[in-house]
Chains A and B, each alone.
Chain A
Amino acid sequence: MADQLYLENIDEFVTDQNKIVTYKWLSYTLGVHVNQAKQMLYDYVERKRKENSGAQLHVTYLVSGSLIQNGHSCHKVAVVREDKLEAVKSKLAVTASIHVYSIQKAMLKDSGPLFNTDYDILKSNLQNCSKFSAIQCAAAVPRAPAESSSSSKKFEQSHLHMSSETQANNELTTNGHGPPASKQVSQQPKGIMGMFASKAAAKTQETNKETKTEAKEVTNASAAGNKAPGKGNMMSNFFGKAAMNKFKVNLDSEQAVKEEKIVEQPTVSVTEPKLATPAGLKKSSKKAEPVKVLQKEKKRGKRVALSDDETKETENMRKKRRRIKLPESDSSEDEVFPDSPGAYEAESPSPPPPPSPPLEPVPKTEPEPPSVKSSSGENKRKRKRVLKSKTYLDGEGCIVTEKVYESESCTDSEEELNMKTSSVHRPPAMTVKKEPREERKGPKKGTAALGKANRQVSITGFFQRK
């Protein structure tokens, strides 16, 4: 019964999910040894073909054997499509091994998807990538990272040396490829390449077999460090045409530094933005609405220190405006012209005339932005922007009163308007009988305060304003 289960599994993968099932992928997925996976695939193909000869099934095989080329005997390992299998087999002098490499429903045009299939499953199993593998090396133990970087340099040098030796046999130029940047695999190639170096001299069948299995390991890209891509020309003979394209890509890609950088840039550079984000976002929001930000700050009445560059800039702008406008208007108490309260706040810490009480604000007169007026006019009915003064203790220990505009639902808008108009005349003629007391005590308080006074509230109500 257990035998049937794997057949159903493979059937599901291939037929229902339209996946490419390589023997390596199958061995990781089902948790079986690679040789068992190969056997499973073969079994499945045989049964399927027997049951239904018209089944849409494409199979690729891994063929390896010795080949005589240009008078040299070399070992060839190739992944070939089923239709080319016989042709390749006939070229080999001795066929060392043939096994099913993959099964899929689609007719693949090139070997790229085969690599793609194995890539992710290998990446997720990097820690135990040789768990189900037929290739074992007792000497291959993980290195410390510091050692591995120095060893990879030696690895490159040894590769170049070997490449010059075996130039004649170069059909292919890559030693394998693999998931990039995996520390664990960087130590394995040294062991493998060491073995190749020792076998370079003797090209017997047996040694070829061993190197072939190692080549397969490398081929299947589980262990080869790709930082130093084997211009390793021991390996050149191991790859048939089908595999060649697969690996040449990676060699080309690795050789072309520019291209690699471009590829890596998307992944690398995308991480960089992370750092720039908080600052970037913050700045953009600040630049968008400096006025509102300032107004909010002023409303809170806490931010006297202009630590932010944005607020300083706007402050400077406002200061400049104030300087221009000041000579034009005489009255210092007018609150008829509602302007951004930032103006007031910046000026108020600079000490007002000494004789006046510290509570005295220094109202600045600036031409009222028409928009504010119109908006307040429009909001007459419901909410009104009212100039209120807020008193607080600033950093220097001075009590500062600032005038801020707050929206306030206004029930007696008419009176507010009247107050505004009357306040224009207030400074010269302190004879408004309605508010004698309040004027003496705090003649320079905000309009709102005056408004309240006109409404005949008690004096305690006046002080609550603070």
Chain B
Amino acid sequence: MTTLTRQDLNFGQGREAGPAGPGAGASGPAGFLERATGLCPPAVVADVLCEFLEVAVHLILYVREVYPVGIFQKRKKYNVPVQMSCHPELNQYIQDTLHCVKPLLEKNDVEKVVVVILDKEHRPVEKFVFEITQPPLLSISSDSLLSHVEQLLRAFILKISVCDAVLDHNPPGCTFTVLVHTREAATRNMEKIQVIK
């Protein structure tokens, strides 16, 4: 049970990011949402992606021991147990960050979302990259689409959980940050808006 409850109840286009399936891919690029033929609207897709990213960030913080395990609590998401932080400020920070990302997701301006683990000197030690792309159109009914999507998101969570097999231990005193890479067009649009303002 994550803290995210925002839902926008329309279906429209979906989004996808990168290839991923149960057990496939390394602990690096990932992120996807399949696109049913005109079924999922951007708002729903952005919501689902933001929820997933929130869970993923919390799980990364838990697995990579960025924060002590004591602040984490087991919750259920996509029908599997996940670790979520109970610290209010940390939760607020993550939520605010993703809240800002959401409009970009709706407009499909996001190329990738990167969670970077930094050491004490603010040098990046690790990066978890979630690539977001538009997939080809698929003709799947929305019910099976949703269960399929849930299954794939579960696979993500599983992959994050076993990522320490391929990663070294982090030095103590690490912090994290979230970077959002937008596509070029988005940057231009944002610049335009700023110039007008």
Contacts and interface: CB of A to CB of B under 8 A. Distances in A.
Contact of B7 (A249, A250, A269, A281): A269
A107 to B, nearest CB: 6
Name the residue among A19, A265, A270, A280 with the largest chain B CB count within 10 angstroms. Answer: A270
A113 B161 contact: yes
Contacts of A117: 158
B79 A180 contact: yes
A313 to B, nearest CB: 22
Contacts of A104: 162, 165
Interface of B: 1-2, 4-5, 7-12, 22-24, 26, 39, 41, 44, 47-48, 51, 62-63, 69, 74-77, 79-83, 142-143, 146, 150-151, 154-155, 157-158, 161-166
Contacts of A273: 8-11, 41, 44
20 contacts: A20-B162, A105-B162, A106-B161, A107-B164, A112-B83, A115-B80, A180-B79, A248-B74, A253-B75, A259-B76, A263-B2, A263-B76, A265-B5, A270-B44, A270-B146, A271-B142, A273-B9, A274-B39, A277-B10, A281-B12
Contacts of B39: 274, 277
Contacts, number: 125
B169 to A, nearest CB: 10
A260 B1 contact: yes
Interface in A82-133: 104-113, 115-117, 119-120
A interface secondary structure, majority: helix
Contacts of A267: 146, 150
Interface of A: 17-20, 56, 104-113, 115-117, 119-120, 179-180, 245-246, 248-250, 252-253, 256, 259-260, 262-263, 265-267, 269-274, 276-277, 280-281
Given A250-B81, A267-B150, A112 B143 contact: no
A265 B75 contact: no
A103 to B, nearest CB: 12
Given A262-B1, A271-B146, A277-B12, A116 B161 contact: yes
A169 B48 CA distance: 42
A222 to B, nearest CB: 14
A260 B142 CA distance: 22
A106 B158 CA distance: 11
